[in-house]
Amino acid sequence: MNKITILTLFPESFEFLKSYGVIGKAIEKGLIEINLVDIRDYSKDKHNRVDDTVFGGAAGMLMRPQPIYDALIANKSSKSKVVYMSAAGEILNQKLAIKFADFEDLVIICGHYEGIDARITNHYVDYEVSIGDYVLTGGEIPAMVLIDSLSRFIGGVVGKKESLVTDSHYNGLLQYDEYTKPRNFNGYMVPKELYSGNHKIVEEWQKKSSLQKTKRVRRDLYDRYIKEDHDGINQKNRK
């Protein structure tokens, strides 16, 4: 079982994540355990305040270190890896999601206001993770994105393991185009290769579609993939 503990000011925001969809079913099966911790419960302020002004005169309020530290110490183990969701962190990608899926005990800190005191991130956090080069009002939504992405790589969570292998970004490329019935929709046809009945032809079409789509939509990924293709196996698919 993978245990995920979330330190947040808004634990109720995660109830939907816990109750529905793939993650909800994984919790029911005992594959994932999600624990919600309200940081305010650890505040020593008589008014349960968890934020304060920033030294140096910067605008906004910052989360105090004490409530976060106490919540962290009370809920982590020696095996825990601590992640802080931060716009300044490493961008979440498929490789990072797979890495986090291997951790049996993950603690995720969700910041708010202007963020959290740097003494927490500098001394008690193992990874700072961002979901993109933009700023949100809190770390709850990024935490949900991280949990959703990593959970798919926990054994038994996704029904067919093959679907993970064909996902976008799994091998550095975007997933090939997919089609369902009818074959003709408003004059747009499903590529004949996909219903040829020949597995090799289907596979070749999928590889070509994946490369073409990546080149068109994410040229940065395409160029990186081609650059790393040392044995030249994709030479014939570059056009």
Residues at the binding site for S-adenosyl-L-methionine are: 111, 131-136
**SS3 assignment, position 2:** strand
- What's the farthest any 2 CA atoms get from each other in the chain? 71
Which own/partner contact pairs does 63-67 have at CB distance under 8 Å and 24+ positions apart? 63/39, 63/111, 63/112, 63/113, 63/115, 63/116, 63/117, 64/117, 65/116, 65/117, 65/119, 65/120, 66/42, 67/39, 67/40, 67/42, 67/43
Count of Cβ atoms closer than 10 Å to residue 215 Cβ? 19
Q: What is d(CA 110, CA 84) in angstroms, rounded to the nearest whole number?
A: 6
Q: How far, rounded to the nearest angstrom, does the alpha carbon of residue 158 sit from its chain's CA centroid?
A: 15
The encoded tokens of residue 226 equal: 């081609």
Residues making up the annotated binding site are 111, 131-136
**SS3 assignment, position 78:** coil
Q: What is d(CA 124, CA 136) in angstroms, rounded to the nearest whole number?
A: 23
The encoded tokens of residue 159 equal: 């029904």
